[in-house]
Amino acid sequence: VQTTYLLNGQPLVSSQSGANHFGDGLFETIAIRQGRPCLWQYHLDRLHQGCLRLGFPVIEVAQLTAEVQQLCHSRPRAVLKIILSTGDTQRGYQRAAGIAPNRFVQCHPWPDSPLYQTPSPSVSLQLCQTRLGCQPLLAGIKHLNRLEQILARKEIQPPAVEGVMLNQQGQVVEGTMSNVLLWRAGTYLTPPIVDCGIAGVVRQFVLDQAVQQNQTVHQEVVSLAMLRQADALFILNSLLGVRQVVAVGEHVYPSVAMPTFLQRIHQACFIPN
Ligand SMILES: Cc1ncc(COP(=O)(O)O)c(C=O)c1O
């Protein structure tokens, strides 16, 4: 299955030609099932937040939805990527006045890696030495500057498939490509996304569902000791759903079944819009 692209609604042969030099943009990575995006409203909401934060014009939802439908309608299982980027600029860091961001919509094959198949293999994590810098203005949004994640990803060695990232104070923030959720003494904990990290759509979905289903999820500072003392640990990501972690480095978690609440969330992550 080939990858297809639209740039501002027009088919594109070479990819990324308009991506700019400074990472001035936003992206979303979205699971496609039966030709339609999953957790679509959550992805739109985060994109909208990102546009407000970076000073981009508000996205035209009907246009974007039509483009997604055009690219993905025949794909039972695929990965949709949306990139909003200011494109090439000849004026250094100053954005050219009145230029609307380029809108890339790409549809990729679903990854072959066993991690992305069902049933999922057990997931091992590793603690990354690369730490996240503090920048509240950019925390939460999925902007195109991901160099910290790239450095952290280089550290990860099998059997680990994902890394835990700390902030400069040594507190747990997230994974290199996921958010973390701890289960301890009957409640869930997830680190607040305030100074760094991405506010993942699955994380937000868990927070919203918890309110509806009478579950407690605290957004609370998580130390490494707390991570290790958890009864269970999960990672959250749009393409992975909810995955249970068997170990972080040498620390192995007790083997407990995934709570029904999270099993349902996992399934709901792959219901097409
Ligand atoms: C750094 C980082 N944090 C968290 C996430 C999880 O975000 P989402 O649930 O929106 O996929 C991702 C996803 O790629 C990520 O790259």
Task: Tell me the mean pLDDT in the region 52-62.
Answer: 95
Ligand 1 center to residue 90 CA distance, Å?
31
Q: If DSSP codes are grouped into helix, strand and coil, which group holds residue 142?
A: coil
Give the residue with greater pLDDT, 92 vs 31.
Answer: 31
**At 69, is the pLDDT very low, low, confident or very high (cuts 50, 70, 90)?**
very high
Task: Tell me the mean pLDDT in the region 37-43.
Answer: 98
| 113 Cβ contact partners less than 8 Å away, ≥ 6 residues apart | none
Instruction: Report the pLDDT value the prediction gives residue 3, as an integer from 0 to 100.
Output: 65
Least confident of 17-31, 49-63, 112-126, 224-238: 17-31
With a 6 Å cutoff on the Cβ, whether 47 touches ligand 1 is no
Please give the Cα distance from 73 to 79 (Å, whole number): 12
Instruction: Report the pLDDT value the prediction gives residue 91, as an integer from 0 to 100.
Output: 66
**At 94, is the pLDDT very low, low, confident or very high (cuts 50, 70, 90)?**
confident
* Contact by Cβ (8 Å): 78, 72: yes
Q: If DSSP codes are grouped into helix, strand and coil, which group holds residue 98?
A: coil
Ligand 1 center to residue 97 CA distance, Å?
31
Residue nearest to atom 15 of ligand 1 (CA): 177
With a 6 Å cutoff on the Cβ, whether 200 touches ligand 1 is yes
Ligand 1 center to residue 149 CA distance, Å?
10
With a 6 Å cutoff on the Cβ, whether 144 touches ligand 1 is no
pLDDT tens digits, 145-191 = 999 999 999 999 999 999 999 999 999 999 999 999 999 999 999 99
Q: What torsion do the CA atoms of 170, 151, 138, 202 make, to the nearest 10 degrees? A: -80
Q: How far does the chain reach from its first CA to its final CA, in angstroms?
A: 22
Task: Tell me the mean pLDDT in the region 213-241.
Answer: 97
With a 6 Å cutoff on the Cβ, whether 181 touches ligand 1 is no
With a 6 Å cutoff on the Cβ, whether 149 touches ligand 1 is yes
Instruction: Report the pLDDT value the prediction gives residue 18, as an integer from 0 to 100.
Output: 41
Name the residue of 141, 166, 177 whose CB sits within 8 Å of the most ligand 1 atoms, as the mutation to test its pocket. Answer: 177
With a 6 Å cutoff on the Cβ, whether 237 touches ligand 1 is yes
Ligand 1 center to residue 28 CA distance, Å?
9
Please give the Cα distance from 270 to 273 (Å, whole number): 9
255 DSSP β-pair partners: none
Residue nearest to atom 16 of ligand 1 (CA): 177
Mean residue pLDDT of the chain comes to 92
Question: Burial, 57: exposed, middle or buried (Cβ in 10 Å; 0-12, 13-18, 19+)?
Answer: exposed
Instruction: Report the pLDDT value the prediction gives residue 190, as an integer from 0 to 100.
Output: 98
- pTM check: above 0.85: yes
pLDDT tens digits, 99-148 = 778 899 999 999 999 999 987 777 999 999 999 999 999 999 999 999 99
With a 6 Å cutoff on the Cβ, whether 177 touches ligand 1 is yes
* Contact by Cβ (8 Å): 57, 100: yes
Name the residue of 48, 178, 234, 270 whose CB sits within 8 Å of the most ligand 1 atoms, as the mutation to test its pocket. Answer: 178
| CA dist 123 → 115, 116, 157, 265 (Å) | 8, 11, 13, 18
Instruction: Report the pLDDT value the prediction gives residue 13, as an integer from 0 to 100.
Output: 55
Most confident residue range from 87-96, 110-119, 202-211: 202-211
**At 266, is the pLDDT very low, low, confident or very high (cuts 50, 70, 90)?**
very high
